[in-house]
Structure 1
């Protein structure tokens, strides 16, 4: 006991951020756990402790091992020993330290449960009711069963009449993925299964985007405490030749390249927050090849005082994407390139600009909007917009609209009516986050008369937070509800004097069970 007392008296305490990367690697930490340790060590002691308690299995055992060997402490202490009978000096603990210590030394909190395993299962159903569309392209359904634990994940699926599998296996610094579901890159376009897509993909979800058969083998390495991944892949759906792939920390940037075909795909999802320059976010994905290049770009900027806002998006869609930008739409017949910009002051004074090239058709427009009534419950706005179409036809129209709008972060409520020379249109859109991880979205447009030019329809898609489409349909109604375990996507549209409306329904379900 005396020896233990002396050792504890002269032990050198360390904070989590003082443990070096070589020390963590020497203790047996895999690269992903090292990167997470270094990231969490920069947060508050309470957050680091919460992360430590959330670990399970092998990761929990490794963290507990280093915790003991390195004499980790989260709080500064002035004394290492408690009060005894000969000394009236008391140990000074931070508030709630005793409670934290008692929880921390519980074997379950330190070591976790090696038997913990997550089983998941679910299904999806999709119907695209379009006249003259082949039956096999109208309905698609799938069921799946999978499991994950200790850094490994697998899935067995039945998509329509075909069986498939997916595996994501990690061995120390190496990762191997194979099959029709998992890949180390977060791309939406890459080798996508044209008949299926997932709205349940989010942080911690076992359901990324369904893909066609692909294989990846990569090496994960640490650089300045951050994990990178580099490897080789093969996917016939993307290229007949194998290639290389790269993934940055947090998967903010990634890319694939096939030298044999000189074809590549890039992905960006990053944000910057500055006290002086504001908050900025960029999303982008593209497929670049000699045959055809497609993709999208989205930028969102907000001033430091949340007064000035900018949204800018551009995309090139074509039959190559098989309608991937909006899965419920009919396949595009010819490529379309579209750009849209919206800038505003406090969301009530601003401008818009749009430009689109689709074959021989060129459309452009600009608008300005300003308030005539302001309140904390929303604003009444007036909008003046010019529509121009050239190429096959020469059309010019003026639209004057009055509408109510309220925007705050990802919440949008807007509806109103625009009058044009040859008709008009009712517009409505709602996006409401509900609790944690739930999002309800609704958008609609109803056109009256015979406007000469197409409408600007604000739409939400999987790939971006915001998207603008051009539509000549007389009526469009879209409803989407997404939660961590269920998603529902319904779209209905019809043309004037056309007996062939389009109805799209997609339902997805995911259930998890901890074993």
Structure 2
């Protein structure tokens, strides 16, 4: 009788373990609270409710709201609801194909997975003195559709008419053309004149590529579905090769044996019980002639009070520069490494090292709070700049700035005084809601500064990056959503009276079938 009573009591409800990450984010959970939720739902029932009762303030309100909206329950041990979805069915989620678990919830709909037609527009202008007209302006128009797992597109990029298809049959798939590929690489065979700010899981407009062709299959390796097969992409290598993509597309790679050229991609999160939480992003092209790419990691230790950011990249003409930044393509390779460590973002330090041809720059800094409040902090920063190659020069900077950081949200503005001049710097990053992000970064240099400034920048491929700049003025604004993006960059050089203006606008509209 007790079993029947409990079963009837929880009928129609679902366990916290069955709540997808998309539902947590939709309610307003922060990434930190999402990680805690995913950790605690794996704990015993008693421990889970002890954690739930210990929450206070906004976190407690969000968990309570989720509990009501999702009609959650945590049944006693040894009780399991009967599945109402056959185990042999499969669903497509935001991170690939997974087997359905017994559940009663209605899966969160992804608009990109519904059958639809789409229309995409893009315009880009890079206004630089002496740059040929054909390299200044680029425009694109795309039309295509998604139906029952099949994707197709027809587009016009400048004067070129291109196509893209992604055809699936059982476990096999064929991808051909200039738009689709079964791997999430940004560097791989990219079109040097175009990029997609809409490149996210299942998007009909992923990164534009040069002509590439894939044939592969999806089979269960190590208990999970994995994509692998063969490809040919003349823009990447003159020889065909093999590729693979792990479940959830967190890891993928390509290899061309004939040229011994490969490319790897990593985008994963790790939560280690005694060693904190870690977010890793990396992409590289490995070649006998030249190796390029980037690595970025964000680590949180001791209940997320100790934070460490590490970024390393090597850029070169091989990558045609960063097409999303509006910067001029580099003439020689640059290797840069940067690390920032802090306690609650108020006490910490940074180190940087850069090698660009014969020019070597390095430095370190430390910062501490003058005023610390829940509304932000006023910090003092001392930074050492070293330059060898052009000026053989060293200088120090002393800065006062206001800053507030939490997850991907950043508010920061301040002024640094150096021996030969000053610099003003500011940055704002605001996730407006799920899938919407507004970013602003700016720097202004005054006087006769001989060493370059550390410019905290956001790039297309990674969440965070640091560049060195000698521009007198840089202003960058970016708004990104699933269907609209605007990227504007304005900068001025001391040695040139003509400013550099970069504008990129993209638009995507879906038509339901």
> Which of 429, 432, 441 is matched with 1:431 structurally?
429
Larger radius of gyration: 1
Residue of structure 1 in register with 2:241 after alignment: 243
CA contact (8 A) 1:438 1:483 kept: yes
State how 1:41-190 maps to structure 2 within 5 Å: 41=101, 45-46=103-104, 49-51=105-107, 117-190=115-188
Assess if the C-alpha contact under 8 Å between 2:92 and 2:98 holds in 1: no
Deviation at 1:355, TM superposition (A): 0.1
Q: Deviations over 1:237-268 (max 9, x none)?
A: 00010000011000111000001101000111
The aligned counterpart of 2:456 is: 458
Conservation of the 8 A alpha-carbon contact between 1:31 and 1:173? no
3-state SS in 2 of match to 1:147: strand
Q: Which residue of 2 aligns with 1:300?
A: 298
| Distance of 1:251 and 1:17 partners within structure 2 | 29
**Partner SS, residue 461 of structure 1:** coil
SS in structure 1 of the partner of residue 203 of structure 2: coil
SS of aligned partner of 1:320? helix
Q: Which residue of 2 aligns with 1:10?
A: none
5 Å matches for 1:16-415? Answer: 16=83, 24=88, 36-38=97-99, 40-41=100-101, 45-46=103-104, 49-51=105-107, 117-324=115-322, 326-415=324-413
- Aligned-residue Cα RMSD (Å) equals 2.3
Post-superposition shift, 1:497?
A: 4.8
Assess if the C-alpha contact under 8 Å between 2:91 and 2:98 holds in 1: no
| C-alpha contact (below 8 Å) 1:201/1:208 kept by paired residues | yes
The alpha-carbon deviation at position 224 of structure 1 amounts to: 4.9
Question: Counterparts of 1:297 and 1:494 in 2: how far apart (Å)?
Answer: 29
Find the counterpart in structure 1 of residue 474 from structure 2: 476
What's the CA shift string for 1:95-143, capped at 9, x where partnerless? Answer: xxxxxxxxxxxxxxxxxxxxx7301102000000000001000000011
Report if aligned partners of 1:120, 1:511 keep a CA contact under 8 Å in 2.
Answer: yes
> How many angstroms apart in 2 are the aligned matches of 1:319 and 1:327?
15
Equivalent pair of 2:97/2:248 in contact (CA under 8 Å):
no
1:189-239 CA distance string (max 9 Å, x none): 000000000011123321110000000000110135411011000000000
- Greater shift, 481-490 or 223-232, is seen at 223-232
Query: Residue 6 of structure 1 corresponds to which residue in structure 2?
Result: none
Q: Residue 185 of structure 1 contacts residue 255 of structure 1 at CA under 8 Å; is this kept in 2?
A: yes
Q: Give a deviation string over 1:461-515, Cα, whole Å, max 9, x none.
A: 1100000000000000000000111000000000125212110000000001112
Q: Distance in 2 between matches of 1:325 and 1:412?
A: 24
Shift of 1:435: 1.8
The TM-score with structure 1 as length reference comes to: 0.80
Distance 1:242 1:218 in 2: 13
2:477–2:489 Cα contact (<8 Å) kept: yes
Q: Measure the CA separation in 2 of the matches of 1:18 and 1:484.
A: 30
Secondary structure at the aligned position of 2:106 is classed as: helix
TM-score, normalised with respect to structure 2: 0.81
Q: Could you tell me how far apart the structure 2 residues matched to 1:159 and 1:301 are?
A: 40
Partner of 1:104: none
- Give the whole-Å Cα distance in 2 for the aligned partners of 1:484 and 1:55: 11
Assess, with a 3 A threshold, how the Cα gap between structure 1 residues 30 and 326 changes in structure 2: closer, same or farther: closer
Measured in 2, the distance between the counterparts of 1:32 and 1:275 equals: 27
SS at match of 1:328: coil
Could you give the per-residue CA deviations for residues 250-307 of structure 1, whole angstroms, max 9, x where no partner exists?
0111000001101000111111124543210111000001111100000100124120
Please say if residues 315 and 339 of structure 1, whose CA atoms lie closer than 8 Å, have aligned partners that are also in contact.
Answer: yes
Deviation of 1:431 after TM superposition, in Å, equals 0.2
Instruction: Tell me by how many angstroms 1:37 deviates.
Output: 4.9
Q: Using the alignment, how far apart are the partners of 1:293 and 1:55 within structure 2? A: 37
Equivalent position SS for 2:134: helix
Unaligned runs of 5+ residues in structure 1 are 1-12, 60-115
State the 1:18 CA deviation.
11
Aligned to 2:493: 495
Q: Is the 8 A contact 1:381 1:403 kept in 2?
A: yes
